[in-house]
Every structure is written in C-alpha cells, then in structure tokens.
Homo-oligomer: A and B are copies of this chain.
Amino acid sequence: MLQQLLNTYQIILGSKSPRRQQFLKDLNIPFEIRTSDCDEVYPHHLTSEKITEFLAEQKSNTIKISNNELLITADTIVWANNKALEKPSNKEEACKMLETLSGTCHEVITSVCIATHKKSIVFTDKTKVYFEELDSEEINFYINHYKPFDKAGSYGIQEWIGWIGVSRIEGSYANVVGIPTSKLYKELKNFL
C-alpha cells in the first residue's frame, strides 16, 4: 500500500477538478490543493496523448513544491475523429459536440504527471467510450439541466447523459471521469 510514500511526502494535487479531488479521497490519500492559472495551450502539431502529456507536464512545471512534497497533475481530452474536443464555450458548441459523439465511439485520454524535486514521471491511459444515438430533446435537456461547460467533450459520464447514453466502455471508467485511479495507485506504490 502507500504508507511509506505518504510518510515521505506530503501529496499536492494540482487540479481544481472536484472529480479528481474526490478520487484522491476515495483512494484514502491525504492531500492539499495547489493550482496555477496556466493557459491550456499546446503546439498545433501535437495529437492524441502527446497533447495530454504536454499539458500535464506544463501544469506540473508551473506549480512550486518543496523538498518533502509530491505533486500530481493531470489533463484529460476527448479524442474524436482525430480531433481533441475541448471544454465548450457556449450552448451551441456543447450541442455540436454531443451531436458529434452521438451513436459513435471516441477515446478519452488522460495523462498524469507525478513530480518531486528528485524525480518526475508521466503516464497515460486511454478508454474507448461508446455512445448510443442521442436525439435533440435529450441533448437539449442535458445541456440545459447539467451545464457541462467545465467538461471536455461537453459531457460527464457520471451524469444523466452518461447513464442513459453510454452503453459500453473499454478501459478504465475512472479515467473517463478524470484520473486513471488504478494506474495512479500502482505508479505511486512504485514511485520511491
């Protein structure tokens, strides 16, 4: 288990996401939140996990830690038709994204960076998500009631649209919610 690591380091979570914070609680990892306001901008030529690796590391590099601290940062994208779907900036964009995802399969990619003053690693997990056909009534109901403007790809798998619309996934469920917990646990166990 993680006792030796937790005796050695104070864990710092570099994320404002309430879902990531809940996961660390569910993993019984005591932590402190420390975030920076770095822009989530990446070089144009990057694709797929190169994007999330770049952003997870960039977030890590902009947060200061001390010798006895271990920093966890992460980035998640929805990767559909060879494009990254970001957070939607308005209702129309959210609607368009959900129409794109309806009746088809996409990938959710999360990269995690674990860093101390001594060492830093990045790892990635990918999950395939299969959506049923969504009609416009369902899409509008979801956007109006759940306002998914803080979510890449305009949906939360753990919300109404995920329960009615996602018939199948292949990979880690936690990864789709925002952090691949079993990989994170394994990497933390082997980190020292």
Contact = CB atoms under 8 A, between A and B. Distances in A.
Interface of A: 1, 23, 26-28, 132, 137-138, 141, 157, 159-160, 163-174, 181-183, 185-186
Contacts of A159: 26
Main secondary structure of the interface of A (DSSP, over half): helix
A173 to B, nearest CB: 4
B166 A1 contact: no
A160 B1 contact: no
Contact of A132 (B1, B132, B182): B182
B186 A132 contact: yes
Contact of A27 (B160, B172, B181): B160
30 contacts: A1-B138, A1-B141, A26-B159, A26-B160, A26-B163, A27-B160, A27-B163, A27-B164, A132-B186, A157-B173, A163-B174, A163-B182, A163-B185, A164-B181, A164-B182, A165-B182, A166-B172, A166-B173, A166-B182, A167-B172, A167-B182, A167-B183, A168-B170, A168-B171, A169-B169, A169-B170, A169-B171, A169-B172, A169-B173, A173-B173
A1 B164 CA distance: 10
Copies in the complex: 2
